């Protein structure tokens, strides 16, 4: 999670910001799947469109969150290459205090939100696949068998990726907490000077 993840979080996240950073990329990434589903089930009168719309909405939001994490990883790689061996301003920036709050506190809230998302999605994927297997043989099947096969194949990869991202989030949260502790411990000494 790189420095730009903080930029959008200096203010509470608004609808426009959320649409730009999560919903739009998620929609673009899933557009071929959404189009394919609409073509496949267009003439099927038994297809449950309400369930499909809800599922697509959640898939778009989930894809957007994952893409935002990937974007932060790309930013971190670029930052490391550009400033390799040079002093990074990142920790000092996090230690800055705006009004009554350190910048790092706001950033930490964002990291914790991502971490909770990543950790909650792992069992959600497992549950979803199990439920799909339970529903598939019945007449309540929501998705086609081909789509079910792809989902089952993709779910361990997605679960592993979310676990990987959760480990990174924990590392970043630890670093930010350390920066906050250091900034807080230095603050009283600076006031006495």
Residues 63, 54: Cα–Cα separation, whole Å: 14
pLDDT of residue 152: 76
User: How much is the mean pLDDT over the chain?
Assistant: 75
pLDDT of residue 14: 67
pLDDT of residue 11: 46
Residue 96 reports pLDDT greater than 80: no
Q: What confidence tens digit (pLDDT) does each residue in 126-168 have?
A: 777 776 666 666 544 455 666 667 777 888 898 888 888 888 8
CB 180 within 8 A of CB 104: yes
CA count, 13 A, side-chain hemisphere, 191? 6
CA count, 13 A, side-chain hemisphere, 103? 15
Residue 49 reports pLDDT greater than 70: yes
Residue 12 reports pLDDT greater than 50: no
Residue 7 reports pLDDT greater than 50: no
Helix axes 49-82, 24-40, angle to 10 degrees: 140
Q: Where are the domains of the chain?
A: 4-192
- Residue 28 has a CB neighbour count (10 Å cut-off) of 13
Q: Which of 60, 53, 95, 84 is nearest to 186 (CA)?
A: 95
pLDDT of residue 136: 60
Whether pTM > 0.85 for this model: the answer is no
């Amino acid at each position: 999670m790189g420095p730009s993840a903080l930029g959008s979080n200096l203010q509470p996240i608004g609808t426009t910001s959320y649409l730009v950073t999560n919903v739009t990329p998620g929609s673009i990434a899933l557009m071929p799947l959404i189009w394919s589903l609409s073509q496949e089930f267009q003439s099927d009168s038994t297809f449950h469109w309400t369930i499909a719309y809800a599922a697509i909405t959640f898939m778009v939001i989930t894809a957007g969150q994952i893409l935002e994490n990937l974007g932060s990883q790309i930013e971190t790689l670029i930052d490391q290459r550009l400033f390799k061996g040079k002093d990074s301003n990142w920790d000092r920036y996090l230690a800055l205090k705006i009004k009554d709050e350190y910048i790092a506190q706001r950033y930490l809230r964002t990291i914790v939100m991502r971490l909770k998302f990543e950790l909650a999605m792992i069992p959600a994927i497992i549950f979803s696949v199990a439920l799909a297997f339970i529903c598939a043989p019945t007449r309540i099947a929501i998705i086609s068998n081909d789509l079910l096969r792809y989902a089952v194949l993709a779910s361990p990869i997605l679960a592993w990726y979310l676990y990987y991202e959760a480990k990174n989030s924990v590392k970043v949260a630890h670093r930010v907490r350390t920066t906050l502790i250091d900034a807080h411990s230095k603050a009283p000494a600076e006031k006495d000077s």
